[in-house]
Amino acid sequence: MKVKTGIDLVDITEFSKSMQNGGENFLHRVFLPSEITSLDPEHLAGLFAAKEAITKALSLGPGKWLEIEITHEESGRPIAKIGVPTKSQDLSISHTKTHAVAVFVAIL
Amino acid sequence: MYETIPEFLASVANRYPTKYALYIRRFLRTTRFTYREVEQISLKIASYLLENGLKPQDKVLIWAPNMPEWVLALFGCLSAGIVVVPVGLHSTEEVVGKYIEQTRPKVLFLSKFYPIDFKKPEHKNIKIINLEDLVGLVENVSIKKMPNLSKNELGEIVFTSGTTGEPKGVMISHHNILFEIEQLLKTVPHFKHYRLLSVLPLSHVMEQVVGLMTPIARGGTIYYLPRINTVTIKKALRKYQITDLGAVPQMLRMFLDSIEYQVTEQGKSGSFNFALKLAAVLPITLRRQLFSKIHEDLGGKLYVFGVGSAPLDVKLAETWEAMGIKVVEGYGASETTGGVTANRIDDRIIGSAGKKIPGMELKLSSENEIQVKSDSVTRGYFENEEKTREAFTADGYFKTGDVGYLKDGYLYITGREKFKIVTAAGDKIYPEDIERKLNSHPDVWDSCVMGIKKDDGEIVHAEIILKPKAATKVEDIVKKINLELEPNQQIMDFSLWTDKDFPRLHTLKVDRNEVRSMSENTSQTKNKVTNTTISSEDTLKNILSKVCKIPGSSITDNSNLVTDLKLDSLKRVELVSLIEEEMGVELIEEDIDNETTLKNIKQQVSSHKKISYPYDLDSITKKLREPFSSYLRILLQDLFVFPILRFFVKVEVKGDIDFSRLKLPIILIGNHPNPPSDIGLLLSILPLRIRLKLAAPANDWPYRTQKYLINAILSNLLGGTFPINTHGKPVGKSLDAILDFIEDGYSLYIMPEGDVTPIGEKLGPLKPGLAQLFANTDVQFVPFYISGDVYGSFYRQKDEHHTYYFPHGFSKIIFTFGKPFTLLDKDENESMVTIKEKILELAPSL
C-alpha cells in the first residue's frame, strides 16, 4: 500500500492573467466542458490547483489536464475522476481572496 | 445639441432601440447590448451607485480592458453626475496610487481577469466592482430619478503623465465631449452600416470620442475583443465584417509586416511590389480587386483606418492606400477631448494631420507651437491651478506643446516641444523628424530618438528596432539615414533595441522617459551592437517574454525555460496556448520539461507543422449562409429527398407545437436513431420559414478520416450541416460556429449525443459542449423524440461508418415534439440534466 499526496497553491491574480492571455485555447486545454460551470477565475483557479495536486501526487506528468475530471457531490465536496486506479482517494479545495489551494491524497 | 451625456444616450436609444450597440465574445459566450439596453442598464448602474452612497461629483476609477461593461460603467457614472477617472490597463500600481491620492475615488471598476491586490492599506478600502459582474449586480435595481446635471458638469478626469512628475488630470465636461462629437459628425459621412472594432484603449479620451460616442451617434455597432493581437484582430475583422478600424501607426505597420512576410514566403514579392506601383494609377475599386486576397483576409469590408496618437510614416500610409484602404489621420490631445484636426475620407493629404474640425480655432505661436481654442478644450487640470495657468495663453488658447505648420489649411506636425533636442550650437531638433526618416528605412520597425548630454548641449541618440530578418546592419542604416538628414540632425550615437517594442504609455505613445531610462541603464555600450540579425523567431521570444514577464533582451537561445525563465505549470499552459493562437502550432506540454531551452522550443515549433484542420470550417459555414445554397437545398429537399423518404415512411407528428408561431431562431434537439433518414424526415416536417435559415453541426469524422467524404458533402448540401469535432478536446472553432449561426438568426438542429442513439437505449450519453454554449441564455430549445419503426424502411448503419443504403420496406415513424424551453438560470450541469430530461420525457416506454 502506498500513500500519495499532492498539493498546489495558485495565485488567483496570476491565474486570471494566464487565463485571459491564453483565451479559449487555455480553457480547453485544461478544463473539460463539464468543469466550466462558471468562468469565474476563482472557481477555475481552484480546479487548476486540484488538477495540479493530482498530477503531482500520481506523477502523471505535464499536460494531462483533460484526463482528470473534477466534479462535485451534492454537498459541494469535490470528487476527482482519474484514469489511474486507486484504492482510495480524497480531494479538498479551498480559497482565499487571493489564492486557491488543493490537496489530494490517494492510496494505491 | 444635447446638454448632457444622458440626454445624448436617451436620444440614440430612441432612434435605434433594437440595434446592437456593443458586442464582445468572451470564452465562447457572447455579451451584447442593444441601444435601449445600454440606456437602461446605464441608468440602473447610476441608480445603484447613488443608492450606495455616491453623490454627483464623487469620483470612480475604471481600470480594465475594453469591454461593453466599461462603456456601461462610463455611461452609468455620467448619468449620475459621477466623475470617471479612466486608467490605462497597463498602468502600474504606483501610478494608479497617484491618481487615487489626487482624486480620492469611492469605487474602483476592475476586470475580474485583472484583479489587483493593493499594497497600500488605504487603497484596500476602496470598493471594487468587477465589470463582468456589473450587469448582473444591477439587474434588479429600480431606476431612480437622476440628478439634474448642467452642461458644464465635470464628467471625467483623464491623466496624461507617467511616473515622472506629478500626473496632471485633464478635466473633461459633458459639454466638452458632446461638442467634440457634434463637430466630428460634420466630418464623417453617413454609412448605412457602421461596424467598428475598438482596439485602442477606452482609457484614452480619443477612443471614447472617436471609437465609441461618434459611431454610437450614427447607430453603429462596436465590437470589443477579450485579447488583442494581430491574430485576434484579423479574425474579428473577418468575422464581424468590420468597416472601420481606429489604430495607431504601429498596428498598420504590424499588419503590413505580416502581409509582406506571407508574400515573401510565397515568393511573390516581385508581383506584390509591381501591383503596388500599378495601383497608384487605378481607382480605389480596382485597387481593392487587385489586392482582393488581402482584403478577404481582412474581412472584405474594411475601408478606413483612422489613425492618430503618433506620427504616421508617409510610406506606410501610401502602401495601405495603394491596397485600397483609406488612411485618415487626425490630431488631437486629451486636453482637446479628442480631435482638433482631421483628414476627411474624401479630402485627405497623406503626411498631414488634416484640416481643423469645425468649431476649432487654431493658431501657431511665434515658435510654431499649435494652440487651440474651442468648446471641446478642457477648462484645466484637476486641483492644479498652476499647471492650468501655464497651459493657456492670455487670450485663452490651449498650448498643446506640439510644433507644426499650416499649408493650404492642412496642419503638419513637426514634433513635440518638450522632446526637442538642443545641440551645443543652439540648434533645435525634433526627434520625430529623425524618427520619420529612420522608420522609412525598409529594415527599421520603429525608432526612438532622444538627446544625450555632451559638452554644452546634446547630441542625437537613436534607439532602433529592426524588423525580423532585417538584412542591413544597424550601423549601415544609420549611415544611410544620416546622408538624408540635415547636418545638425546627424545621429551621433545609436543602439539596437532588442525588445519587440518600446515601452508605451496608456495612450500607446512611446514612453520616451522610460526608453531613456532603460537606455541609460543598459549594460550595452552605446554604438556597440550585440546582434544585428535578429532572428525571425522573435514572435516566440516575445511570447516567452510576455508569459514569463522577463524582458526579451534577457532571453537567449540557451535560456532554460524552467530554471532561468521560471516557467511553472500555469505558465506552460499559457505558453502553449499563445503559441497555438499566434503561431498556429500545437505543442505538447510533455515536450517542455526541466531541460527545455528557448532553442529547443524553436526547434519544436519549426518541426511541428502548422495546425491544419482537415477542412476549412470558415469556408463551409460561409457557403452555407449564401442564399443560393439555401434555395438549392430547399429545392432538392422538396423535389427529391422528401418525396423519396415519405414514399417509404409514413410520418406522424405528435405534440402541441405550432411552428408557425415560434419565435426564431430555435434549436431542435432530440435523439438520432437512424441517420440520415431520421434527419431527412425531421426536416420534411419543418415549415419553409425555418428551413430557409437552418443549419446543423455534424460529426466531422468523414473529413478527419477522409473516408465517406461523399456522405459529408451530401449532408452539407441536403441537410445544411457543418463539421464539428465530437471526440476528444472540443474544438473552439466549431462551438464558435454554432454561436455565430444562432446570432445570425439561424435555427439549428442538434443531436446532442454526437452519435447514433445506441440500439436498445432511449438516449445515449450527451456531449457537454452544448450546455457550455447555452447555459443561462434565453435561446429556445424545441425537444423532439423519434420513435416507431425507425429501421423499418432504411437500413440502420451497421457500424460507426456511414454507408449508402437503399429502402427495403414501408414503415411508420412518430415525431413527438415537446414544449419549447430555455436554459436561463441554469448552469452547465443543470443544463445537461434539463436537456436530457426534456428529450426523455417524450420517449415512449421501451
**Do B711 and B786 have their domain in common?**
yes
CA B769 to chain A, closest CA, distance in angstroms equals 6
Total domains in chain A come to: 1
Is position B333 within any domain?
no
What confidence score (pLDDT) does residue B506 get? Answer: 67
Together in a domain, B21 and B159: yes
Tell me: do B670 and B778 sit in the same domain.
Answer: yes
Note whether B29 contacts A: Cβ–Cβ < 8 A. Answer: yes
Number of domains forming the structure of chain B: 4
Shortest distance, CA A45 to any CA of chain B (angstroms)? 10
Contact between A58 and A4 (Cβ < 8 Å): yes
Q: What is the 3-state secondary structure (H, E, C) of B781-801?
A: EEEEEEEECCCCCCCCCCCCC
Substitution target from B573, B734, B823, B833 for chain A, most A beta carbons within 10 A: B573
Is A34 in Cβ contact with B832 (below 8 Å)?
yes
Is A73 within 8 Å of chain B by CB? no
The identity of residue B796, as a single letter, is R
Find out whether B424 and B455 touch, Cβ atoms under 8 Å.
yes
Q: Tell me: do B734 and B756 sit in the same domain.
A: yes
Quick check: bond before B226 cis, omega within 30? Answer: no
**φ, ψ for residue B198, nearest 5 deg:** -100, 105
Q: State whether A18 and B578 contact (CB < 8 Å).
A: no
Q: What phi and psi values does residue B4 have, to the nearest 5 degrees?
A: -135, 165
Q: How many CA atoms lie within 13 A of B694 on its CB side?
A: 26
Q: Are residues B585 and B726 in the same domain?
A: no
CB A103 within 8 A of CB A91: yes
Domain identity same for B636 and B569: no
- Whether B586 and B633 share a structural domain: no
Q: Is B81 within 8 Å of B56 (Cβ atoms)? A: yes
Clarify whether residues B720 and B664 are in a common domain.
yes
Write a three-state SS string for B603-647. Answer: HHHHHCCCCCCCCCHHHHHHHHHCHHHHHHHHHHHHHHHHHHHHH
Whether B378 maps to a domain, the answer reads no
Compute the distance between CA of residue B493 and CA of residue B491 in angstroms, rounded to an integer: 6
Interhelix angle B538-548/A12-30, rounded to 10 degrees, is: 130
Say whether B112 and A34 touch across the interface (CB within 8 A).
Answer: no
- Inspect the interface and report whether the beta carbons of A62 and B589 lie closer than 8 Å: yes
Domain for residue B701, yes or no?
yes
pLDDT under 70 in chain B at which residues? 161-165, 191-192, 455-456, 506-507, 522-538, 609-613, 726-732, 795-805, 846
What is the strand order of the sheet B780-788 is part of? B649-654, B811-817, B780-788, B666-670, B747-750, B694-699, B721-724
> By C-alpha distance, which of B358, B303, B304 is closest to B329?
B304
Q: Are B339 and B332 in contact (CB under 8 A)?
A: yes
CB B217 within 8 A of CB B16: no
CATH number, domain containing residue B68: 3.40.50.12780
Half-sphere exposure of A82 (CA within 13 A, CB side): 27
**Structural domain containing residue A30:** 3-107
CB contact under 8 A, A41 and B730: no
- Answer for the pair B601, B565: CB distance below 8 angstroms, yes or no: no
Among B227, B207, B205, B209, residue whose Cα is nearest residue B217: B209
Asked whether B362 and B411 are in contact (CB, 8 A), the reply is yes
Are the beta carbons of B85 and B169 closer than 8 angstroms?
yes
Helix/strand number for chain B, H first, E second: 32, 31
- B6 by Cβ neighbours in 10 Å (0-12 / 13-18 / 19+) ranks as buried
Domain holding B582: CATH number?
Answer: 1.10.1200.10
B117 close to A (CB below 8 A): yes
Which residues on chain B are in Cβ contact (under 8 Å) with A14? 570
Q: Measured between alpha carbons, how far is B276 from B517 in angstroms, rounded to an integer?
A: 40
- Residue B384 covered by a domain: no
The residue among B541, B572, B606 that closes a domain is B606
- With vertex at residue B395, the alpha carbon angle to CA B393 and CA B396, rounded to the nearest 5 degrees, is 70
Q: Write the CA distances from B577 to B27, B254, B255, B571, integer angstroms.
A: 14, 21, 22, 10
Asked whether the beta carbons of B437 and B449 are under 8 A apart, the reply is no
Do residues B813 and B652 touch, judged by C-beta distance below 8 A?
yes
Q: What is the CATH number of the domain that holds B468?
A: 3.30.300.30
Q: Which of A4, A43, A56, A64 is catalytic?
A: A56
Cα(B155)–Cα(B56) distance, integer angstroms: 10
Select the residue of A29, A41, A55 nearest B112 (Cβ to Cβ): A41
Please identify which residue in the block is written with the cell numbers 439561424: B746
Tell me the HSE value of B403 on the side-chain side, using a 13 A CA sphere: 16
Q: Which of B487, B494, B459 is closest to B473 using CA atoms?
A: B494
Residue B121 domain-assigned? yes
pLDDT of residue B536: 38
Instruction: Nearest by CB to B574, from A21, A24, A32: name it.
Output: A21
Cβ partners under 8 Å of residue B28, min gap 6? A24, B732, B735, B736, B739, B772, B773
B668 and B761 inside one domain: yes
Does residue B686 sit in the same domain as residue B549? no
Question: Within a domain: residue B723?
Answer: yes
Burial class from Cβ neighbours inside 10 Å (0-12, 13-18, 19+) for residue B645 reads buried
User: Is residue A16 within 8 angstroms of chain B, CB to CB?
Assistant: yes
Is residue B225 assigned to a domain? no
Interface residue B594 vs chain A (CB under 8 A):
no
Residue type, B636: L
Task: Look up cell 482565499; give the residue.
Answer: A96
Gap between the Cα atoms of B152 and B841, Å rounded:
62
Tens digit of pLDDT per residue, chain A (108 long)?
899 999 999 999 999 989 998 988 899 899 987 788 788 899 999 999 999 999 999 999 999 999 999 988 888 899 999 988 899 999 999 999 899 999 999 999
- Which amino acid would we find at residue B661? R
* C-beta of residue B69 within 8 angstroms of C-beta of residue B131: yes
Non-local (6+) Cβ contacts of B273 within 8 A are: none
A99 catalytic? Reply is no
Strands (E), B163-307: 169-173, 195-197, 221-224, 244-247, 304-307
Domain end call among B521, B553, B575: B521
Are B673 and B820 within one domain?
A: yes
We report the CATH number of the domain holding residue A85 as 3.90.470.20
Domain boundary pick from B214, B233, B255: B214
Interchain contact B118–A (C-beta under 8 A): no
Q: In this structure, is residue B402 part of a structural domain?
A: no
Per-residue pLDDT, B82 = 98
CA atoms within 13 Å, Cβ hemisphere of B120 = 11
Is the CB of B588 less than 8 angstroms away from the CB of A63?
yes
Helix/strand/coil for A10 = strand
* Containing structural domain, residue B560: 533-606
Query: What's this model's pTM, rounded to 2 decimal places?
Result: 0.85
CB neighbour burial string for B189-215, b if at least 16 within 10 angstroms, e if fewer: eebeebbbbbbbbbbbbbbbbbbbbbb
